[in-house]
Structure 1
Amino acid sequence: MTAPIVQTSRAVTLVGGGPMGRGDLELALSHAPVLVAADSGAITALDAGYMPQAVIGDLDSLDAEALARLPAERVHRITEQDSTDFDKALRNISAPVVVGIGFTGGRLDHQLAALNTLVRLSSRPCVLLGDKDLVFHAPRSLQLDLFSGERVSLFPMHAISGRSTGLKWPINGLALAPDGLIGTSNQATGAMTLELDSDGMLVMLPRTNLAEVMRAITLP
């Protein structure tokens, strides 16, 4: 098995080339100080005054000028075209948790592909930060300290069942599926727990919960 390109005991900020809000990069780095870029995310990082420790992707969005700004040993080209740059980067990062920015705005197909990657690479804990929300793949056992009344959306990426506490509308006994019953706009009544019978559940929360989500999904 090929060793990951980035191996670290600290949280990683992974920046993509999509739209992001003012201050998002600084926010992510304050929680996840190791900076990695997926393809044209390197331009975003460099323009903000940061040098990524690694740039991973097919590099089709980096021109010669951008590449010249990067140390050659930090650039890692993966030429296969069967996956997105987010996928290429995430599967080549070994870290307790990854915070991804620049992956949830812009084109809808890119957003859906990123959600697909979250599920397929569920062994790589990752939270994607958007302009209002964050999204992550739920481990089978999850505990979050949330405020009462806070919005919690659960979206199954395949048929899944489980149990919950701390939700206004519990999922106990429900069969959830992407083409059936989903859990959009539930509400927390306080601390929330999920016990899921399989992988494949995405959780969406207000982005103010970034630190708590990172705590909950970080690998030891």
Structure 2
Amino acid sequence: MITTIVHVASPVTLIGGADLDDSDLNICLKVAPSVVAADGGADHALRKGLQPLAVIGDMDSASPAARQAFADVLHPIDEQDTTDFEKCLTRIQASLIMAAGFLGGRLDHTLSVLGVLARLRACHVVLIVRDDVCVLLPEGNSVWHLRPGDRAALLPLGPARVTSDGLRWDLAARRMAPDGVVSSSNAVARPVVRLDVTGPVLLTLPRAAWAVVTDAVRAR
């Protein structure tokens, strides 16, 4: 049985141990000042002078200095079948999780993060990286107020079906899959984009759209 470690009504910033641009972290903190670190993310928290609510993971990446600084909020989880990202998501209860320090590093780490999003259907997690903001689309209908001309990618993380209205190349109940049809080079054609999704589909937009994405997640 998995025990909740952090249960808060407010949004949470989750910091990973991958390369982290300060501007990515600042975006997350603007939305969610409360911090949780995933293992090696504790070193980023220490460097920024942040006090996390919890440090969660198998503790194979956090430095001795970080483990000492946050000794009272360490939550070691000796579980090799899950990543630190999954350990955190399954132990944090929050309406919105802003996550930075998880993408843009090693390819295997990036793919495992996306796999966790799909498996957990974690539509409340917004991933921030240098050039992108990414979120798993909710099943069914959703409406997005976007800037015409911006790139917009729809990336299936498993078998999916997508209908869109408002993109340059709209989809009509199109079957999609990681090893089949993807929409990686699409763009916003109209200010209001409507999506009807079945299955796990990642929406990727320019990082400048982070406020639109977080507002949409909060409005659900």
| Letter of the structure 2 residue corresponding to residue 181 of structure 1 | V
3-state DSSP of counterpart to 2:160: coil
Match of 2:142 in 1: 142
Kindly indicate whether residue 192 of structure 2 is the aligned counterpart of residue 191 of structure 1.
yes
* Aligned counterparts, 1:141-220, within 5 A: 141-189=141-189, 190-196=191-197, 198-218=198-218
Structure 2: gaps spanning 5 or more residues: none
Matches within 5 A, 1:1-220: 2-72=2-72, 74-123=73-122, 125-140=124-139, 141-189=141-189, 190-196=191-197, 198-218=198-218
Change (3 A) 1:219 1:76: farther
Note the aligned Cα RMSD (angstroms): 1.5
Structure 1 stretch 20-29 or stretch 143-152: which is displaced more? 20-29
CA distance in 2, matches of 1:194, 1:188: 12
Cα distance in 1 for partners of 2:76, 2:51 equals 17
Alpha-carbon distance change, 165 to 53 in structure 1, aligned in 2, over 3 angstroms: same
Q: What amino acid is aligned across from residue 62 of structure 1 in structure 2?
A: A
Secondary structure of 1:23's counterpart equals: helix
Query: Structure 1 stretches (4+) deviating beyond 3 angstroms?
Result: none
SS of the residue corresponding to residue 46 of structure 1 reads: helix
Q: Deviations over 1:71-110 (max 9, x none)?
A: 42x1111111001101101111110110110000211100
Percent of aligned positions that are identical: 38
Aligned residues: 218
The Cα of 1:123 is off from its aligned counterpart by 4.2
2:127 partner SS: strand
Aligned-pair distance for 1:219?
A: 6.8
Report the TM-score, using the length of structure 2 for normalisation: 0.94
Say whether the 8 Å CA contact 1:91–1:124 is kept in structure 2: no
Kept in 2: contact 1:97–1:219 (CA 8 A): no
1:98 partner letter: I
| Mapped contact 1:94–1:124 kept (Cα < 8 A) | no
User: Do the aligned partners of residues 218 and 145 (structure 1) sit closer, same or farther apart at CA in structure 2, a change above 3 Å counting?
Assistant: same
How far has the Cα of 1:145 moved from its partner? 0.6
- For each residue in 1:121-145, what CA deviation from the matched residue of structure 2 results, as whole angstroms up to 9, or x when unmatched? 2146101111101111110222111
Structure 2: how far apart are the matches of 1:90 and 1:46?
A: 21
